[in-house]
Amino acid sequence: MLVNTLAQVAPSMPRFPTTIFFAPAIFLLFFPLVILFFIRLRLRKRAAQFGYPGVMSYLRAIPRDDAEKQAAVDLVMKGIVLCVLGIVFPLLVLIGTFPMYYGVRKLLLIGFGIGPSLSPNAKQA
């Protein structure tokens, strides 16, 4: 009886599919995770390319040549782009600070002259 009375009161209430509401939430949750996966994959590939045993040893190392310096600048730019994209997807700010931190760290070590010298006359220690 109660069901019949409710059906009579609101006989034609529009029903929206729940996927309309859950699709953006799922996208906002998984999009940053997919980006993080590809960043990690790219860093692993780059670490192997430069001859490092792992990603963290690559990120902590001081750049040895111009190719590694360019990779450090590339890492900073990717981090900045992800942080700017964080205006739209707030979780990307957290993901973008990771490559930006390690890239800026490498560039500062180069700027302070802590890294190995690239001049041909310099003696290796």
CA angle 27, 29, 32 (to 5 degrees): 95
Task: Say what the pTM is.
Answer: 0.65
| Distance (Å, whole) CA 75 – CA 50 | 15
| Distance (Å, whole) CA 77 – CA 121 | 32
Confidence class of residue 124 from pLDDT cuts 50, 70 and 90? very low
> What is the per-residue pLDDT for 125?
42
Q: What is the mean pLDDT of the chain?
A: 78
> What is the per-residue pLDDT for 18?
62
